[in-house]
């Protein structure tokens, strides 16, 4: 029997979809091992977020509301989460493998003396017990990991799990007295410079239009009209980022974001293994590349050998004509 504590992530007063994906992971663990899950909402003025999460089958929604938790800082968050895990009697603490999850969870694991599995994409029953499936070696291998400590910590690759649908019911809200101060001293929040965009978040978009080095300084000119037409987010290869054609937060891949949209356009991207690690689980992959021998075509559902500077504007024109 497992008691799971799911750490909710939220933005602008609403739960992020990542939280629902992480809840689906928790549901799968419960389906294999029995037990139940609680949710934890940390922040300042987060009553509305907690309320919005009461319909997802948690035994309790813990609310740690404190001014020092207004911004996700790993030290204070890890302390409050570890305190809460002990209070809830949790033997598994999980959160999505977002930037925040990657920052916070290892510290939680240290505080709880827990073994940790990162970037988990599945839950499997093995002869050795319940195992967490996770990619290794830039996604070239998939390993099943059994964590042997009494308390476990898991970061969940959100794109590998569907969002848990609301189950109905009403989990009780439990206010907890959070004490982040002891861990606040060494780091101070200065500011947040977010990218202002009307496009969907890259990690959550159902369509991603990604461009590579081949687009050169016409990166925006080629990717933006197609992304806007399809309501998609824009992604990029690392080479496009390194060469200054696309901003850092567009990067998809081993050292960028991991995405699994319904539709992924790889335009002038060669398909290096490090790029594939971030997008190969996309439902439908369309590759446009002028070189037919590139490895991107091995993972593509649809491949177009063409000059992107000609083919993409033509595609945009055709979609517009069809819609008209
Ligand atoms: C430790 C490590 C981590 C890494 N992490 C990442 C990562 O997270 N994400 C990532 O993407 N990479 C990552 N890389 C880099 C990766 O190995 C590749 O170098 C990179 O993905 C290549 O990007 P690219 O396909 O845009 O560029 P290139 O390999 O240079 O390919 C450019 C492509 O554009 C095509 N092209 C050129 N002109 C046109 C045109 N007019 N029309 C159509 N096609 C055209 C070419 O045929 C070619 O296929 C990492 C590497 C290392 C070592």
| Ligand 1 pocket check for 238: Cβ under 6 Å | yes
Q: What would the CATH number be for the domain defined by 2-183?
A: 3.40.50.620
Q: Check pLDDT > 90 for residue 321.
A: yes
Let me know: does 256 contact 238? Beta carbons within 8 Å: yes
Let me know: does 11 contact 43? Beta carbons within 8 Å: no
Q: Is pTM, for the whole model, over 0.75? A: yes
Residue with tokens 């799911």: 6
Collapse the DSSP code of 180 into the 3-class scheme (helix H, G, I; strand E, B; otherwise coil) and give the result.
Answer: coil
| Ligand 1 pocket check for 85: Cβ under 6 Å | no
Lowest mean pLDDT of 72-86, 168-182, 306-320, name the range: 168-182
Let me know: does 59 contact 37? Beta carbons within 8 Å: yes
For range 259-267, the mean pLDDT: 96
Let me know: does 118 contact 134? Beta carbons within 8 Å: yes
Q: Count other C-beta atoms under 10 Å from residue 44's C-beta.
A: 12
Residue 3's beta-bridge partner residues? 36
- What tens digit of pLDDT does each residue of 38-77 get? 999 999 999 999 999 999 999 999 999 999 899 999 999 9
For range 97-126, the mean pLDDT: 96
Average model confidence (pLDDT) across the chain: 94
Q: How far is the CA of 244 from the centre of ligand 1 (A)?
A: 13
Which run of H or E residues covers position 124? strand 122-126
Per cent of the chain over pLDDT 70 is 99
Q: How far is the CA of 188 from the centre of ligand 1 (A)?
A: 37
Distance of CA 269 to CAs 264, 279, 290, 298, 316, Å?
Answer: 12, 12, 10, 13, 19
* Residues contacting 127, CB < 8 A, separation 6+: none
Let me know: does 57 contact 27? Beta carbons within 8 Å: yes
| Ligand 1 pocket check for 309: Cβ under 6 Å | yes
User: Which of 237, 279, 311 to mutate for ligand 1's pocket (most ligand atoms within 8 Å of CB)?
Assistant: 237
Q: Check pLDDT > 70 for residue 184.
A: no
Residue 65's beta-bridge partner residues? 43
Could you say which DSSP state residue 243 is in? T
| Ligand 1 pocket check for 134: Cβ under 6 Å | no
Residue nearest to atom 22 of ligand 1 (CA): 239
Query: 3-state DSSP: the chain helix, strand, coil percent, rounded to 5?
Result: 35, 30, 40
Q: Count other C-beta atoms under 10 Å from residue 11's C-beta.
A: 11
Same fold: 2-183 with 207-323: yes
Q: How far is the CA of 141 from the centre of ligand 1 (A)?
A: 21
Q: Check pLDDT > 70 for residue 182.
A: no
Closest ligand 1 atom, CA of 308?
42
| Ligand 1 pocket check for 246: Cβ under 6 Å | no
Question: Does CATH place domain 207-323 in 3.40.50.1220?
Answer: yes
| Ligand 1 pocket check for 256: Cβ under 6 Å | yes
Q: Check pLDDT > 80 for residue 225.
A: yes
Using pLDDT thresholds of 50, 70 and 90, give the confidence band for residue 183: low
Domain ranges of the chain: 2-183, 207-323
Joined together, the tokens standing for residue 122 give: 């599945």
Closest ligand 1 atom, CA of 291?
47
| Distance separating alpha carbons of residues 12 and 136, to the nearest angstrom | 34
């Amino acid at each position: 029997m497992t008691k799971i504590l799911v750490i909710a992530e939220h933005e602008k007063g609403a739960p992020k979809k990542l939280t629902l994906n992480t809840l689906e992971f928790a549901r799968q663990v419960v389906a294999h091992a029995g037990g139940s899950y609680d949710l934890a909402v940390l922040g300042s003025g987060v009553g509305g977020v907690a309320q919005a999460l009461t319909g997802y089958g948690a035994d309790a929604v813990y609310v740690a509301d404190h001014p020092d938790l207004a911004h996700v800082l790993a030290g204070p968050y890890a302390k409050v989460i570890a305190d809460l895990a002990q209070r809830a009697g949790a033997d598994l603490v999980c959160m999505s493998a977002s930037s925040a999850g990657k920052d916070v969870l290892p510290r939680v694991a240290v505080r709880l003396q827990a073994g940790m599995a990162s970037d988990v994409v599945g839950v499997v029953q093995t002869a050795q017990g319940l195992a967490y499936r996770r990619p290794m070696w830039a996604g070239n291998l998939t390993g099943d990991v059994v964590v042997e400590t009494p308390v476990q910590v898991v970061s969940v690759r959100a794109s590998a799990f569907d969002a848990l649908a609301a189950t109905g019911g009403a989990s009780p809200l439990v206010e907890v007295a959070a004490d982040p101060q002891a861990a606040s001293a060494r780091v101070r929040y200065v500011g947040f410079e977010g990218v202002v965009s009307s496009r969907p978040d890259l990690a959550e978009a159902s369509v991603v239009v990604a461009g590579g080095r081949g687009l050169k300084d016409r990166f925006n000119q080629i990717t933006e009209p197609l992304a806007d037409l399809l309501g998609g987010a824009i992604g990029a290869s690392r080479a496009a980022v390194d060469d200054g054609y696309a901003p850092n937060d567009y990067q998809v891949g081993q050292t960028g974001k991991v995405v699994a949209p319904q539709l992924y356009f790889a335009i002038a991207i060669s398909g290096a293994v490090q790029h594939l690690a971030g997008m190969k689980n996309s439902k439908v992959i369309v590759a446009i590349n002028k070189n037919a021998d590139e490895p991107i075509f091995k993972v593509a559902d649809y491949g177009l050998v063409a000059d992107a500077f000609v083919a993409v504007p033509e595609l945009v024109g055709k979609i517009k004509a069809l819609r008209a």
